[in-house]
Amino acid sequence: MRVAVIGGGPGGLYAAALLKRLDPAREVTVWERNAPDDTFGFGVVLSDETLGGIEHADPAVHDALRRHFVRWDDIDVVHRGRRHTSGGHGFAALGRQRLLDVLHQRCHDLGVDLRFRSPAPHPGRLAATHDLVVAADGIHSTTRQTWAEAFRPRVTAHRCRYIWLATDFAFDAFRFEIAETEHGVVQLHAYPYAPDASTVIVEMREEVWRAAGFDELGEEESTDRCAKIFAEALRGRPLRSHRSAWTTFRTVTTEHWSHGNVVLLGDAAHTAHFSIGSGTKLAVEDALALAACLREHPDRDTALAAYEEERKPVVASTQRAARASLEWFENLALYLDQPPRRFAFNLLTRSRRVTHDNLRLRDARFVEAVEREFGCPPGTPPMFTPFRLRGLTLRNRVVVSPMDMYSAADGLPGDFHLVHLGARALGGAGLVMTEMVCVSEEGRITPGCTGLYTGRQAEAWRRVTEFVHTRAPGTAIGVQLGHSGRKGSTRLMWEGMDEPLPDGNWPLVAASALPYRPGSQTPRELSRAHLTDLREQFTAAGRRAARAGFDLLELHCAHGYLLSGFLSPLTNRRTDAYGGSLDRRLRFPLEVFDAVRAVWPDERPMTVRISATDWAEGGTSADDAVEIARAFAAHGADAVDVSTGQVVAEERPEFGRSYQTPYADRIRHEAGVPVIAVGAISSWDDVNSLILAGRTDLCALARPHLYDPHWTLHAAAEQGYSGPGAVWPEPYRAGSRRPRTGRTDTPKPRLTLNP
Asked if residue 599 lies in contact with residue 542, where contact means CB atoms within 8 angstroms, the answer is yes
CA dist., res. 541 & res. 451, Å (int): 8
Half-sphere exposure of 104 (CA within 13 A, CB side): 16
**For residue 552, which of 633, 637, 463 has the smallest C-alpha distance?**
637
CA dist., res. 380 & res. 533, Å (int): 49
**How many CB atoms lie under 10 A from the CB of residue 76?**
18
3-class DSSP assignment, residue 134: strand
User: CA 110 → CA 19, 51, 339, distances in Å?
Assistant: 10, 20, 55
The full length of the chain comes to 755
DSSP state of 613: -
CA dist., res. 690 & res. 448, Å (int): 35
Element containing residue 438 per DSSP (H, E) = strand 431-438
CA dist., res. 717 & res. 736, Å (int): 6
DSSP string, 332-373: GGGGTTS-HHHHHHHHHTTTSSS-HHHHHHH-HHHHHHHHHH
Half-sphere exposure of 688 (CA within 13 A, CB side): 23
CA dist., res. 472 & res. 478, Å (int): 14
Asked if residue 660 lies in contact with residue 677, where contact means CB atoms within 8 angstroms, the answer is yes
CA dist., res. 439 & res. 536, Å (int): 9
Asked if residue 516 lies in contact with residue 487, where contact means CB atoms within 8 angstroms, the answer is yes
CA dist., res. 157 & res. 247, Å (int): 10
Half-sphere exposure of 267 (CA within 13 A, CB side): 20
Q: To 5 degrees, how large is the angle CA 99–CA 103–CA 106?
A: 145
DSSP string, 693-721: HTS-SEEEESHHHHH-TTHHHHHHHHTT-
DSSP state of 45: E
User: CA 64 → CA 30, 94, 240, 750, distances in Å?
Assistant: 21, 11, 27, 45
Cβ-proximal residues to 352 (8 Å cutoff; 6+ apart), any chain: 321, 324, 657, 658, 661, 686, 689
CA dist., res. 221 & res. 423, Å (int): 66
Is residue 406 annotated as part of the catalytic site, yes or no? no
Q: Of the listed 406, 561, 578, 659, which one is catalytic?
A: 561
**For residue 674, which of 336, 389, 343, 371 has the smallest C-alpha distance?**
389
Asked if residue 566 lies in contact with residue 511, where contact means CB atoms within 8 angstroms, the answer is yes
DSSP state of 559: T
In this structure, the strands spanning 387-389 and 392-394 are antiparallel
Active site residues: 561
